[in-house]
Structure 1
Amino acid sequence: MRTHALRTAMTLYESGTVGIDAAARSAGVTTERMRHRLRSSGITVREGGAGQPTAPVGR
């Protein structure tokens, strides 16, 4: 996994620009791995994709 791609994908996800699936694809990781990295970085994982309500998913 490329660190820059992962950081960029996490930033785009956090800003609501992309959903978790798109963020994971762009970083070259699984959706589950992306969820783990987001949570470990203190970023709230939302339900839905970009433009969807931002209800947090349980940690």
Structure 2
Amino acid sequence: MRTPKDLMAVHVPKEDLGDYSLSEAGWYAMDDGGHVILGPFESLSLCDRAIRDRLEQQKKM
């Protein structure tokens, strides 16, 4: 599996779902290539927590 260099939280509204090939609006963790890695989340704080957890897991590998 490719390891992204950076993950960022991005809110995808309903009208932009097709741009990302998604079916549900919400917060998503995207890598530096614009690929959705995690989500959807109901809030920015939940998305940020998932990003931190994911990065911590990758450090342990």
Same fold (TM over 0.5): no
Provide the TM-score with structure 1 as the length reference.
0.32
User: Which structure has greater helix proportion?
Assistant: 1
User: Which structure has greater strand proportion?
Assistant: 2
Larger Rg: 2
Provide the TM-score with structure 2 as the length reference.
0.31
